[in-house]
Every structure is written in C-alpha cells, then in structure tokens.
Chain A
C-alpha cells in the first residue's frame, strides 16, 4: 500500500498525525506529508485507512499503480 497527501487539499486538521504519527508528519504551518515515500508497512495499513477515512478535507489518497 502507498499513500500520499494532496498539498492543495490539506488544511492542517492534523487528524492523520493524531491517528498515525508513524505515517505522517505535519509541519509548522499545518501542512501534512507522508513520511518517506508513502509506502505503508503491512502492519500499519489499518491505521493508514483510518487516517484516509478521518481526514475532513479528503486530502489523503491511496496510490494505485
């Protein structure tokens, strides 16, 4: 699983960071980004899905390649 944060949609609610600090970091201006290249280790996939489902701006997406 790979995920990314759309920087134009993210408004810094920090719900992603609250739910999965292993996967996201939020900078001083509230912009979230995925840690590393966004590859989610299998044991964190549930957390990644939870973050996707809780982002009020629909800014987190799962990449399909």
Chain B
C-alpha cells in the first residue's frame, strides 16, 4: 500500500505520487540528474528511477535483463492485477520476445501512417464539433471538455465499439491508470473493461465486422486462431494505452499554449510550424512513464539492481536531459534536432505513435483555428494526474 509521508531525500526515497512532484517533476529530475542520476526508493518495493537519457534508452534496449512482465508504475502482482481472464497479460506491452514480437505485428498495420491518414477526417470533425459546443461560451475546460473527449472516440471507432460509451471507457481507463494506488478501484476498472470486451468478442464471433477486434479474432497464427484471452488483453491494451496518454498530451500542450503567449501567437501565425511543434510539445511534456522488472542482478552506473527490483522508465525525464537537448527545460517550438523518446525506445516503441501524433496535431489545429487567444481562468485551479501518465485533468480556460 501507499505510504505517502513527505519526501525528504529524492535520491533514496522518491515517490512519484507525491503531489508536489506530480505538479512539477522537472526540478526534481534536474536535481537528480546532477546528484544521483539513478534514484532509488523502497516505497512500493525496491524501485530504481533513471533520469538521464543515456540510462533510460540503454535499459529500454536491454530487454533480456529488463523485462516488461511488470509495467505498472504503481506495482501490482503480475502483468495485470489478479486477472485470471488475462493469462497472457496485455500483449505486446506486457510481453517479452517471442510473445511480444508476433503480438506487436498483429497490431502495427492498424496504426501505420497510411491507416492513420484515413482516421484524420473523423478526428477533425470530432474536434470541430467539440469546439462548436463551447466556442460561444467564452470558457471551457480544455482538459475535461476537449482533450479528454477526443482519443477515446477515435479508439472506439478503430476498435469498432460504440462511441456512445466514451464516458464509461474513460472512467474505466482512469480507474486502471490514475487511481492505481487504490487496488479496489483498479480491479473494478479492469473487471468492467474486460467484461465489456468479452461481450463484444462474443458478438463478433457471429457477426464479424472489419474492425480491429473482429480482425484479431479471425486471425490465424501458425495455422491456429489467436486465443480469445489474448485478443481480450490486446483490445484492453489498445483502449488503455490510447486514451489517457493522448488526452494528456493534448491537455499539456493546450496548457502550455494557454500560459505561453509568445508560443501561442507564433503557432497561430505560422501553421507550418505545427509538425515540429508537436514533436517539441511531446518532448517537453511527455506523458508516459513505464516500468520494467530486473530479471538478473546487474549493476547500472554503480547501482546494484537485484532480480525482482523494478525500474521506472522515465522517458519524460530523459527528454529533458540537458546533455542531449540544448535548452532542455525550454519549449523551442521549431527545435530542429529532437531525438525525443516520448514514445519509448527500442522494441516497445509506441505502436500508436502515428495515431497519437495525428490526434495531437489535429486537436491543436482545430482549437487554434477557432480559439487563437486563450488563457487559464484567473483564480481557477488546474489539476494534474501523475504516475504512469501525466497531464492536466482540469484546465479551465477563458477566451474572448
């Protein structure tokens, strides 16, 4: 269980759920990189946290010693908590090779850049209709009322499940990812989500469509149909991985633009800047941290990691490493050299990265086209979620 006493020494007793850290992890990372680049804690089990680009990417590539069998930042037993219905976990993200290799290949074509081009029109329409809903009011919650509404509907469309259930999906995903410190809530979210997909899977046995879920169910690997429990895990993953993450990136980007007038004006005046700006906002506000479990004792940078220890893959901190990025703590919208790892590094590179980029770009374009001037509402509270996925959950903005 969580022990939430205040952190005195970040190097030896860090806590990623510390409210101060959730609001501003950046100063902590800068301090750690200088003093103790691989921090440790015994809160929630022995856990290491590299903050340098070099260490994070090296560990991500060492898939033999750093397994994806435990990917939750807030640990649970096994790949997925107490879920006998998911004996394969949620592959490919929770799998190591060889299971990882072929389950990843099942998903990739659904998120190729060619496929993603085909989802752009519906995404744009969706964003425009959301803006329609509040543009006249002069105020909006850019997180809950906009960012949060977009990815869940795009994913529902791809999976072939009704967009009308978007609110339920959002709630389940948040139960699993954001309230992970509450085992009951997490289990409840998982049960609802898997229960829902099991019903959908049954339906597609008799009425297959041309959606991702139907296709997975009717795919054969080495002459055998894919086990239904594996399809269930993968479908759950696509929903979990595709929703909180992208909405957090959209929300953080809007927060940045609401609080940085120069960048906002620049982007409005020069829309051609958008592709570079999207990469830069992904770098500076990378939402996703993952975990690994150490398979065999190993020393990394003098830190004695033991089998069973966990490692937090702090991609967001790696992306602010000043030894790799000039002016690392600044958003430079037209940053030309930007080898960021917001989507991870190595074999688990985000399978949905083309989709996520498109959604972020379109969400910003549609917002800025109609609401070029906006600021955070004076006196209103901006709230952030952290842990596995960091982003604003409440972002009240006003505009003329």
Question: Which A positions have Cβ atoms within 8 angstroms of B?
Answer: 11-15, 17-18, 26-30, 50, 53-57
Contacts and interface: CB of A to CB of B under 8 A. Distances in A.
A29 B103 CA distance: 12
Nearest to A58: B339
A29 B337 contact: no
B353 A13 contact: yes
Interface stretch (B81-89, B109-117, B242-250): B109-117
Interface stretch (B218-226, B254-262, B289-297, B340-348): B340-348
B349 A29 contact: no
Given A26-B112, A26-B113, A11 B347 contact: yes
User: Which of the four size classes fits the interface of chain B?
Assistant: 20 to 34
Contact of A55 (B57, B105, B279, B339): B339
Contacts of B215: none
Nearest to A11: B349
B109 A54 contact: no
B3 to A, nearest CB: 36
Contact of B275 (A13, A18, A55, A56): A18
B61 to A, nearest CB: 9
A27 B339 CA distance: 21
Contact of A53 (B112, B337, B340): B337
16 contacts: A11-B345, A11-B349, A13-B343, A14-B354, A15-B279, A26-B112, A26-B113, A28-B109, A28-B114, A29-B108, A30-B108, A30-B112, A50-B336, A53-B339, A56-B339, A57-B346
Interface in B90-105: 105
Given A29-B109, A56-B341, 11 more contacts: A11-B346, A11-B349, A14-B113, A28-B109, A28-B114, A30-B349, A50-B337, A54-B279, A54-B339, A57-B345, A57-B346
Contacts of B341: 56
Contacts of B115: 28
Contacts of B354: 14
A11 B109 CA distance: 14
Nearest to B105: A29
Nearest to B341: A56
Given A12-B349, A29-B108, A54 B113 contact: no
B336 A12 contact: no
A30 B353 CA distance: 10
Nearest to B339: A56
For the complex, would chain A's binding face be called helix, strand, loop or mixed by DSSP majority? loop
Interface of B: 57, 105, 108-109, 112-115, 275, 279, 336-341, 343, 345-347, 349, 351, 353-354, 357
A13 B337 CA distance: 15
Interface centre among A13, A26, A29, A50 (most CB of B within 10 A): A13
Nearest to B349: A11
Contacts of B345: 11, 56-57
Contacts of A18: 275, 357
Residue of B275, B336, B347 most packed against chain A (CB within 10 A): B336
A54 B339 CA distance: 5
Contacts of A53: 336-337, 339
Contacts of B57: 56
B67 to A, nearest CB: 18
Nearest to A26: B113
Nearest to B342: A56
Contacts of B337: 50, 53-54
A14 B109 contact: no
Contacts of A29: 105, 108-109, 112
A14 to B, nearest CB: 6
A-B residue pairs, 5 tightest by C-beta: A11-B349, A28-B109, A28-B112, A53-B337, A29-B108
B349 A28 contact: no
Contacts of A11: 345-347, 349
Given A12-B349, A13-B353, A14-B353, A27 B112 contact: yes
A6 to B, nearest CB: 14
Contacts of B349: 11-13, 30
A1 B341 CA distance: 28
A55 B337 CA distance: 9
Nearest to A56: B339
A11 B345 CA distance: 8
A50 to B, nearest CB: 6
